[in-house]
Chain A
């Protein structure tokens, strides 16, 4: 076995799961980033073909639990056929989302795809001493460890094990095939090709325990550029590298407005930050959440004109050709705000508004309005926005606070 063997490892593709971003309102962006999870998967297949890999490993959640269109399956088949034409085998274990998705059972995958079942098994990559072991989820949940289902590693060979697991998991989330890194390390495999956790992490290098992360982030919670993991095997040595896959990435951006004295200054500052972000962008498009914050004497003017500043930010971003804004937030303070006791009537009004907000009667009135209006939001989003009573209260409070600030800003500017 003198030739270098390359293997591409990915997981959590969540095919056809939509991006959740207000930035996608923009038609230009829609043209650039269309069905990003598909584009990311195409990138993975392209990489596999370009690198002439010996296998593609998909460690679960190829499908998304919610998206059940047969077209998704047809797309997948087309892509896997490309690998088949190049003689590249695909090893696939089912994750929790795959198990709940009926499409998984309905499609006939091309014969180059080897799907491990819930009982586990192993398979040798042709003309090599590399063995792939894997165990699929049999249902939506796997509360017990799946490690006992793995057989012993093959002697005198490279052994790669595929597992969809939340590892130790986090509190408040259901455990998915729970196990620990030390447990994995003692199993005798050379590389653990994991899946499930959407953030990339290399847990160990000897043996390799790699969570490749989602290949395409879908909201700001999955920020940053995303990748697949490329293994290069030379004799017994495995070298691991990242292959970029995301076509769009979510980014939090901060624009410092400290000491800003004019609109021009602020525009300049925003432009600088956006250009820098555009320059450093790893994906084809950046969907940003931008915060303008800091200490400036122009706080009230900026807040008063916040709608037009949002437009400015959006336009400046659009002019980069690669950046789109999904939200612009303002976190400004003025230098004198806390220093002196302001005796103006507007300040007094502000104080009165604070007082009123904290009164239980008014607060409950606001909460009632909030619940009534939020009933209009589709249930999925609503339950994420206000998962519990406390969140409802917090939201009502923060909305009334920003609302009050906006009114004050408008009043301060009304006579200009």
Chain B
């Protein structure tokens, strides 16, 4: 497959960019250079070609200018010498189309790609500098392993070693025997750790049983030790008690000796000695109070004797209080009264003004003008009704005026319509009589049918025309169409047969002539003696023999001998030319055969000629009788008779239709006649007449309708007028009644005081009078009340003055003040008297109490003195205090002694002091101390034992209680299971990777073995060419399981790949790829090979060589080199002898 034309219709920044790679020419390299500066679109072009072959990807990077949905590439591919025009669209299905936009299946293209996927194509057939770069590295990393090199070149896998290395390192990372850093080793370590933790934390069933037993044993041991320890503690306590009791006994004895002199003193005191101190203080305080009270009594008695009182004026204040309200009202009236009187006067003036507004009759009192709100309202309503009645009358009058104008208009219209008197309706009845709606379509269809039939007849008749003869009607013919056709067919068949025979005769004649010539030629040129000549020679010989036999003379013998020689010569000749003779005989036989066939055909042809003549004569006879002039062929005549049948059919149809539609047409004609008379029309055309009639009918109808409408309108308006006039009269009556009602009401309310006609204009003054009256009544009431308050107050005060002996003529407010002063003075004197009398009584009572208390204290002192022996002084309070202190000291000592006794009894667990003395009898402090030391030692030992027992028991308990339901072991077990799964997973992953790697390596070795010979040769050739003969040969050297590639230079020195320069390695890789291309081509997969500026690292010479390699690829298939270097273009042009095509972007 090669690319012939390629177009980037819409792709990348291109629109309609086309490349023409031309047709492949034998002997010429199919090598193309596409040149364009950077960013001109070289890679875009290559990508576009990928799209043409494999479709657009889902995410298209080349849709930056044209939207993805609009992208399109197309091209013409040359496949096995045929052209295939294709275009590719970015749609999901049916993206591949041919030139006619027909969708092609993908297989149409894929079947020519040798099963290469897009990725394969890119790997194998699209080289760029990066691929070359990696290819060069691959050569180094493969250490020149020939298997890897060949395979990586053929597969386009430039990083084969990388892939294999990746698998190797993955496998190594997963597992290596005895290695400690692999995944597997790590997992195993983790597993061991988890197992250790489980062992540490877990308690298996057997251990659990042991733990329970240990706890029981330790518990019983602890119990035993505790019992022993308790016994020891008890005996030690006894010793301690005895030791502490000895000093207490000594103390008791000392106290008893001290108490002996105070045996007569009271055993206990029923009072607190501190009470005596308080008693002493109280006695001195009472004596001071007694003196102060005596002085106070004397003072009060003196004050009361000198006090002056006035009881008669005590009630004055109450009386004044009663008149206080009156007093304040009197003061207010003094200020307001004059103002109120002025207001009242103003109101009276306003009312008088309102009365004059109402045009009241002079002398009419204003009070009579005052109406209640209800009365005013009544007046208002009546007045409203008068106004409504008047409005109704005016409205009605307006309606009547309007109506009158409309009646005039209607009358005028009626007059006009009457003038245009409508023509009598004549058209309508005619149309109805012929029921024109039914007739018109029937007439139209009849006319159309007849017209069609007549046309058909005319067409058929015109078909009969022959030469100059035409026909107006069907002529009679003595023969039917079928017979004529049979005759025609017979004539045609005979004619055909006759022609065939003529041709055959000609051919036979030609062949006979040829044969004759050939026979003559055979006879002449080969010297063949034919059978006839041979027979005559033999007969002559036989004759001469008979002659000689008869004569036996020399002459006869000689002639016989000659004849015999002649026969021999003929026989020899014939024998020598046996083949030609055979051929001659064959040709002669064939000639005979042909001559017979020629004769037979000639006879047959003559017969046919006769037959044809007969038919022609017969046909000419028939034609003449049918009126056809001159000669006519039987075929043409048969056709003419067929036409004649058609004419007859058409004529019959026409006649039948005419008969059928006759009644319709005559009916229509009658209608036309009548309408023409009425309408005065010249035309007779049915449609025109009927249309005009319908128009007139419509006009007649409209005129009549208008007249009726006008009369109806006028009558309606007249009736309306009558109705309105009646209503008007009613309304006027009502208005008069309202006005009478108003006059009556005004007279009822005001008599003749007010004029009804004047009042009707406004009721506002009446409402003003009403409001003023209300204000007047209020003001009048206030003035009267104030005058009364003033006179009441003056009267009351003058009464009080007379009673208290004051001057009654004083102004009322001054008199009120004087009376108040008198009352206040009398009250003050009475209050002073009451206070002093009460204080005197209280002082006398307190003095009595103080004297009683002093007496009680003296009694207490003498009572306490009786408790003590008679020789102790106790008469005064201080003496008594000293005796009491001594008694208290003795009581304390006695208590102390009794406590010590009770303590010693309790400690020694004895009933009394005597028993205690008995128990301690003979005991010494030193003995007891020694015993105690022994006891302490014993206790220490047993405490240690107890401690150990507790520890053992606690530990056992702890161990057992450590067996909790916690999930640590379960969680670890789960972790262990997971780790085991991971180990399995890792092992399998390792094996998978390792197996894949081993298979790949072995497969690559085998690939090498099967492809070495062909690929090595091709690579060697290309490499030698690329290096311009620096390296002439490639050889291999086994190394372990692999084989290493060595290049031999011209001097025969071997060099390993990794010792070559970078550029040389690139060339070696390119050579390998060229070889791979050849190999692919040899497998029948020959596809365009793209190189994208891969010669960048090559010097000029090597670039030349590289161009030649591309040219060579172009001879096998198609090579397309994309570059932005102008010099590469020039070099390519220079070095490629079989041509390179340059395309510019």
Contacts and interface: CB of A to CB of B under 8 A. Distances in A.
A75 B151 contact: no
B209 interface: yes
Given A346-B155, A370-B991, A415-B157, A376 B970 contact: no
Contacts of A400: 992, 995-996, 999
Interface of B, helix, strand, loop or mixed by DSSP: helix
B706 to A, nearest CB: 81
Interface in A311-369: 334, 336, 339-349, 352-353, 356-357, 362, 366, 369
B129 to A, nearest CB: 13
A71 B1002 contact: no
Contact of A404 (B117, B968, B996): B996
B1007 A345 contact: yes
Contacts of A412: 119-120, 123
B205 A70 contact: yes
A16 B1004 CA distance: 52
A172 to B, nearest CB: 23
Name, among A68, A343, A369, A413, the residue most crowded by chain B CB atoms within 10 Å (CB to CB): A343
A349 B965 contact: no
Interface in A19-46: 19-22, 24-25, 30, 34-35, 37-38
B116 A373 contact: no
B110 A340 contact: yes
Contacts of B208: 70, 73, 106
B203 interface: yes
Contact of A18 (B184, B206, B976, B1084): B976
A345 B1076 contact: yes
A279 interface: no
A357 B996 CA distance: 10
A74 B107 CA distance: 71
Contacts of A68: 204-205
Contacts of B1003: 349, 352-353, 356
Interface residues of A, number: 82
A165 to B, nearest CB: 26
Contact of A376 (B120, B188, B203, B997): B188
A264 to B, nearest CB: 8
Contacts of A261: 57-58
Contacts of B151: 345, 349
Contacts of A22: 978, 981-982, 985
B207 interface: yes
A70 to B, nearest CB: 4
A75 B963 CA distance: 9
A344 B980 contact: no
Contact of A24 (B111, B157, B188, B978): B978
Contact of A346 (B157, B969, B993): B157
B995 A38 contact: no
Interface of A, helix, strand, loop or mixed by DSSP: helix
Contacts of B996: 400, 402-407
A376 to B, nearest CB: 6
A346 B163 CA distance: 13
Given A22-B978, A403-B993, A414-B163, A72 B970 contact: yes
Contacts of B1002: 352-353, 356, 362
Contacts of A202: none
Contacts of A385: 984
B206 A102 contact: yes
A265 B991 CA distance: 32
B197 to A, nearest CB: 13
Contacts of A334: 117
B984 A103 contact: no
Name, among B163, B976, B1076, B1085, the residue most crowded by chain A CB atoms within 10 Å (CB to CB): B163
Name, among A30, A67, A70, A341, the residue most crowded by chain B CB atoms within 10 Å (CB to CB): A70
Contacts of A405: 996
B994 A376 contact: no
Nearest to B1004: A349
Given A35-B974, A102-B205, A378 B999 contact: no
Given A22-B981, A71-B966, A374-B987, A404 B1000 contact: yes
A396 B1076 CA distance: 34
B945 to A, nearest CB: 32
A38 B992 contact: no
Contact of B980 (A75, A377, A411): A377
A69 interface: yes
Name, among B115, B202, B966, B978, the residue most crowded by chain A CB atoms within 10 Å (CB to CB): B978
Interface in A89-114: 102-103, 105-106
B967 interface: yes
Given A34-B967, A35-B970, A25 B994 contact: no
Contacts of B1109: none
A135 interface: no
Given A70-B207, A346-B157, A374-B987, A415 B122 contact: yes
A399 B991 contact: yes
A34 B971 contact: yes
B1113 interface: no
B133 to A, nearest CB: 12
A204 interface: no
A357 B999 contact: yes
A300 B1000 contact: no
Name, among B115, B134, B160, B965, the residue most crowded by chain A CB atoms within 10 Å (CB to CB): B965
Name, among A19, A77, A262, A353, the residue most crowded by chain B CB atoms within 10 Å (CB to CB): A353
A79 B967 CA distance: 13
Given A403-B997, A411-B160, A25 B978 contact: yes
A344 B125 CA distance: 11
Contacts of B122: 415
B970 A71 contact: yes
Nearest to A326: B981
A18 B159 contact: no
A381 interface: yes
Contacts of A262: 57-59
A343 B115 contact: yes
Given A69-B969, A300-B119, A356 B991 contact: no
Given A21-B981, A414-B159, 19 more contacts: A18-B977, A20-B977, A20-B980, A71-B964, A105-B205, A106-B209, A340-B110, A340-B114, A344-B155, A345-B156, A345-B1007, A345-B1076, A346-B155, A356-B1006, A369-B995, A404-B999, A406-B996, A407-B997, A415-B159
What 8 A-B pairs come out closest when comparing CB atoms? A403-B996, A75-B965, A342-B115, A345-B154, A345-B155, A18-B977, A352-B1003, A18-B974
19 contacts: A18-B978, A22-B985, A24-B978, A30-B971, A67-B973, A102-B204, A261-B57, A336-B110, A339-B110, A342-B115, A345-B155, A345-B156, A352-B1006, A377-B987, A402-B992, A406-B992, A407-B997, A407-B999, A414-B163
Interface of B: 57-59, 107, 110-111, 114-117, 119-120, 122-124, 131, 134, 151, 154-160, 162-163, 166-167, 175, 177, 184, 188, 191, 202-209, 963-971, 973-978, 980-985, 987-988, 990-1000, 1002-1004, 1006-1007, 1076, 1080, 1083-1085
Interface of A: 16, 18-22, 24-25, 30, 34-35, 37-38, 67-79, 102-103, 105-106, 261-262, 265, 297, 300, 334, 336, 339-349, 352-353, 356-357, 362, 366, 369-370, 372-374, 376-378, 380-382, 385, 396, 399-400, 402-407, 410-416
